[in-house]
Amino acid sequence: MTKEPLVVGLDVGTAVTKFAVAKRLRPDKEPAIIALGTASTEGLRRGVVVDIQDATRSIVIAHESAAKMIEDDVHEVIVGLNGSHLSCHHTLGKVAVSRADGEVTEEDIARVFTNANPGPSGQNKTILDVVPKTFVLDEESGIKNPVGMNGIKLELEALVIEGSSSPVKNVEKCVHEAGLQIEREVVGALAASESVLTKKQKDLGVMMLDIGAGTTSMAVYEEGRLIHVAVIPIGAGHITNDIAIGMRTSIEVAEKVKLKYGAASEDELDGEGNLQIDLSKVSPEEVGVFPVSYVAAIIEARLKEIYDYVLQELKSIEREGLLPAGAVLVGGGANLRGIVEMSKRELRLPVKIGIPQGVEGSIADVDNPTYATMVGLVLSGFDETGDEDLGVAPGGDSGSSGGIGDMLKGMIKTFLPE
């Protein structure tokens, strides 16, 4: 066995906690997921922890089930951050080039990067990531790496992702109470993007859309750079709740109905609309018979509500209907029957399902859109993603520029010509 380090991704989702251990089994090959543990999550609502003990237990169970698959246990994890408290804004850093001969140095990059991070916008806010968009050297924009170039004024346009401190601290607390240390924190939507989006899609203009259980998160890229991130506090779990209300049944039965008979729209039923669902066959204590089309109508209504919010976000950045590479759907909700066609109509964009890439034929089977975030977290721990600027050191940067130094290393690499 090689002595390659183990990299661990932990995605504490509203419905499912996912824990993956990865390792490069062969040099020059993609890393492999050598262990995968999942647990149904308790103690989260809409992507944030509402009960520390319950959420901690979910992490412990997922960790234990992954640990059974490997010899050495792991204690350091890369954790995903999610929740509708996440927001983003554009920022501009400006510095004068320090060398007398006007040659830009890495030290100038460090200064402009610090200058671009004005710190959190409020007391209970924390900076989660500062993602560089472009350098501008004496009004010349679109510069990827200005080191070695000559100029007087260096600017950096960046996207700052910020969140509320308390939900971030709460998830950190759960991870620690589960006996784990945090190696790094990464915004979940960025992690998911890394595992499913190609460079070409990002260059053309694309949206990653993660339909989870309690949230729908999105990340928009254009000209190879991140331009927007948003988290909507509605997800596929709300569809289950709607079905439970519509059928006057329990959440458990409604979930089974959704998984077995659900479709994203009545239009996607291929003539099965009149097929009857007998609830007593789903669970002996239940009574009632409903047509499949009734369930599809409930699902469609909720998905349309989610897409209304998504379209509002796209409108806010003037990209509605304007992303040539379309939308790439991930998260458990992306498994809904007929979701691609329904989404094409609603979003007026090309739509694909995102299957996580970048890990080689794995021992643990992760080729499902549900695992996009988790795989992205793992990839951020390996060099070849070129995205070491993803994420921040834990607990570092609320109120200061801590964590930024960590990112700089990766940032400089990111900007080197490809």
Ligand X SMILES: Nc1ncnc2c1ncn2[C@@H]1O[C@H](COP(=O)(O)OP(=O)(O)OP(=O)(O)O)[C@@H](O)[C@H]1O
> For binding to Mg ion (CB under 5 A), which residues are involved?
13, 212
Report the nearest approach of Mg ion to the CB of residue 232 (Å).
12
Per-residue interface string for the shown chain with ligand X, residues 375-404, x marking contact by CB under 6 A: ------------------------------
7-12 and 16-23: which strand pairing?
Answer: antiparallel
Q: Measured between alpha carbons, how far is 385 from 388 in angstroms, rounded to an integer?
A: 7
Check residue 177 and give left, alpha or beta (phi > 0: left; psi -120 to 50: alpha).
Answer: alpha
Please give the span between the terminal C-alpha atoms of the chain, in angstroms, as a whole number. 33
* Residue 235, contacted partner among Mg ion, ligand X, none, CB below 5-8 A by kind: ligand X
Identify which of residues 163 and 403 has a Cβ nearer to ligand X in the complex: 163
Residues 322-341 that bind ligand X (CB under 6 A): 331-333, 335-336
Per-residue interface string for the shown chain with ligand X, residues 197-236, x marking contact by CB under 6 A: ---------------xxxx-------------------xx
- Using rule CB under 6 A, residue 15 touches ligand X: yes
Select the span of 24-32, 169-177, 201-209, 253-261 touching ligand X (CB under 6 A): 253-261
* Residue 275, contacted partner among ligand X, Mg ion, none, CB below 5-8 A by kind: none
- CB neighbours of 230 closer than 8 A, spacing ≥ 6? 86, 87, 88, 217, 218, 313
User: Considering only residues 85, 184, 258, 302, which one is a binding residue for ligand X as defined by CB under 6 A?
Assistant: 258
- Using rule CB under 6 A, residue 262 touches ligand X: yes
Check residue 130 and give left, alpha or beta (phi > 0: left; psi -120 to 50: alpha).
Answer: beta
Size of the site for ligand X (CB under 6 A): 25
Query: What is the number of the residue whose Cβ is closest to Mg ion?
Result: 212
Report the nearest approach of ligand X to the CB of residue 326 (Å).
20
Identify which of residues 88 and 104 has a Cβ nearer to ligand X in the complex: 88
Q: Measured between alpha carbons, how far is 178 from 75 in angstroms, rounded to an integer?
A: 10
CA dihedral 13, 15, 19, 22 (to 10 degrees): -80
Cα angle, residue 167 at apex, residues 161 and 170 outer, rounded to 5°: 130
Identify which of residues 18 and 184 has a Cβ nearer to ligand X in the complex: 18
Structure tokens belonging to residue 133: 């968009």
Nearest to 267 by CA among 201, 345, 330: 345
Cα 112 to its chain centre, rounded Å, is 27
Identify which of residues 13 and 381 has a Cβ nearer to Mg ion in the complex: 13
* Residue 7, contacted partner among Mg ion, ligand X, none, CB below 5-8 A by kind: none
Q: Which DSSP letter does residue 204 get? A: H
Report the nearest approach of Mg ion to the CB of residue 18 (Å).
8
Residue type, 209: L
* Residue 287, contacted partner among Mg ion, ligand X, none, CB below 5-8 A by kind: none
Cβ-based burial of 2 (10 A; exposed 0-12, middle 13-18, buried ≥19)? exposed
Q: Where on the chain is the footprint of ligand X (CB under 6 A)?
A: 13-16, 41, 47, 82, 212-215, 235-237, 240, 255, 258-259, 262, 331-333, 335-336, 370
